[in-house]
Amino acid sequence: MEKRTTHFGYQEVPFEEKASRVADVFHSVAARYDVMNDLMSLGIHRYWKRLTIERAAVRKGHQVLDIAGGTGDLALPFAQRVGTEGRVVLADINESMLRVGREKLLDQGVGGNVEYVQANAECLPFPDNHFHCITIAFGLRNVTDKDAALRSMARVLRPGGRLLILEFSKPLHQILSRVYDEYSFKVLPRIGEWVAGDADSYRYLAESIRMHPDQETLKSMMESAGLERVDYTNLTGGIVALHRGIKL
């Protein structure tokens, strides 16, 4: 029987090894993750995330799941919006990222309406038809079986609920694509080495972006998982796209 493989950046690795390799990357970068996000995107990631929060349209009393929630950039404003009547679950497969996120939110005074869960997106440990809104920002490309993860998200989303996926995508213009490649493969690893002492992890992150499905492919994958009225918005020339789907 042929052994199943998948990609880890540009490498082909055994299917069952990818999760542990991705875990090693994020254990390495967790402590400097927020600083690196600001440096890598020149702060633009904050705009992308604000738009995601606005499009999520959560209200007081809502149940929200933020998958691959990392250091809490979405969970924090969600917690403020759902209020004490609601609940936000910050879920991440990586213990180091989850710990950094928990400490950050506690430092911001966020407490009783946020729950922290170490979870794999492919098999979410939540009941069917439960959340009003699910978000995953810059995490789907690191998931081994993306189709399984999308089905799992659709399962725990309640009818009428929204799934929003914020992720790097394919630039719309050839010149922008060339400039972006130069930055990603030459500048980004050097910044990673300088700030986080880890060039290899940021080289992997650049490669993982190139291996992620493009805008239309991800839209089709969401539809196949059972989501409807799927659309997407290209941001910063398609370097990032925000996909949104509804469970009817």
What is the length of the chain?
Answer: 248
Structural domain contains residue 209: yes
pTM assigned to the model: 0.90
| CATH number for 27 | 3.40.50.150
DSSP 161: E
Q: How many CB atoms lie within 10 A of CB 176?
A: 14
Q: Domain for residue 182, yes or no?
A: no
Residue 183 lies in a domain: no
Parent domain of 40 = 5-173+200-246
pLDDT band at 189 (very low <50, low <70, confident <90, very high): confident
Residue 105 burial (CB count, 10 A): 21
Q: Is the pLDDT of residue 235 over 60?
A: yes
Ranges of beta strands (E only) in the chain are: 5-8, 11-14, 63-67, 87-92, 114-118, 131-137, 157-168, 228-235, 240-246
d(CA 102, CA 116): 7
Q: Is pLDDT of 89 > 90? A: yes
- pLDDT of 50-60, one tens digit each? 999 999 999 99
- 120 assigned ligand-binding residue: yes
Alpha-carbon 216 to chain mean position: 18
Residue 191 lies in a domain: no
Q: How many domains does the chain have?
A: 1
- Please indicate if the annotation marks 71 as binding a ligand: yes
User: 82 in a domain, yes or no?
Assistant: yes
Q: What is the pLDDT of residues 210-232, one digit of tens each?
A: 889 999 999 999 999 999 999 99
**The predicted structure's pLDDT at residue 18:** 78
d(CA 42, CA 149): 30
The answer on whether 92 is annotated among ligand-binding residues is yes
Residue 124 lies in a domain: yes
Does residue 193 lie in a domain region?
Answer: no
Q: What is the pLDDT, as a whole number, of residue 30?
A: 66
Residue 105 within a domain? yes
